[in-house]
Copies of this chain bind each other. A is one copy, B any other.
Amino acid sequence: METLMQEFEKTPRNRINRIPDRGHYDADTVYQILDEALICYVGFIDDGQPIVIPTNHARLGDTLYLHGAKASRMLKLLQEGNPVCVSTALVDGIVFARSVFSHSINYRSVVLFGRGRLVDNDTEKLRALKAITEHIAPGRWAEARLPNQKELDSTTVMAVEIESASAKVRSGPPKDAEEDCGLPVWAGVLPLSLEPGDPQPEARLETGLEIPWYVSSYHRKSDRN
């Protein structure tokens, strides 16, 4: 789905104050991180208390979709149009500097802001559930049994129109102060990534069913690259 957003306006809400060079406000960077992340963290307020809940998500255009059971506290609070903040971070590596002070993490993170809207028609609901399924494993929607009306009715889908967002990215080697560079301390980057293991077929699987391509060659890199 097409995005309308090109660049998010810098405001006090989304501005990267700490190390502003790491800040990105273009929708391409923000959305690529959001799409690569398997889960996100949804922040909202319940009676003066901040709450952060990890959950699945998907993005279509400038809309973030979340889903859950009807009884979910998070979804109840969000559908009242309350402000929401969603964050996620991809950890790319550990940055070992010679000094403790210069240690860091290589990461790509997103923080976005919007308000919840209950998705109350089945067309948009199905489109969102398809996006969430395809976000987890592109190709899966075409093969799995699709939701029936009862399942659809028992699922709440929330839309968050992305009003404001920014990304923060750190990459590359450690940056020790000049006077530390001669110290006899190993320095460098240890890359980290979320990697798949061997697929574990369910016990009662019909014989002759091959492991699908989107499972056997699973990766989280976005097609936007």
Contact = CB atoms under 8 A, between A and B. Distances in A.
Interface of A: 13, 17-18, 38-39, 41-45, 48-54, 56, 68-69, 71-73, 83-89, 91, 93-94, 96-101, 103, 105, 107, 109, 111, 113, 129, 133, 136-137, 140-141, 143-147, 151, 155, 173-174, 176, 180-206, 209-212, 215, 218
Contact of A209 (B173, B185, B215): B185
B91 A144 contact: no
A171 to B, nearest CB: 11
A136 B189 CA distance: 13
Given A192-B194, A197-B192, A87 B202 contact: no
Copies in the complex: 2
18 contacts: A17-B71, A18-B68, A18-B72, A38-B91, A41-B43, A41-B87, A41-B89, A49-B85, A51-B111, A96-B140, A99-B146, A100-B140, A100-B147, A144-B185, A186-B212, A187-B202, A189-B202, A195-B195
Nearest to A175: B202
B54 A52 contact: no
B39 A105 contact: yes
Given A183-B206, A188-B202, 12 more contacts: A43-B51, A51-B111, A91-B194, A99-B144, A101-B155, A103-B136, A103-B144, A143-B186, A145-B185, A184-B206, A187-B202, A194-B195
Nearest to A203: B173
B202 A137 contact: no
Contacts of A107: 39, 54
Contacts of A101: 145, 147, 151, 155
A191 B212 CA distance: 15
Contacts of A105: 38-39, 56, 136
What 10 pairs between A and B have smallest CB-CB spacing? A191-B197, A43-B52, A54-B89, A52-B87, A43-B50, A41-B41, A187-B202, A188-B201, A99-B145, A195-B195
Contacts of A195: 192-195
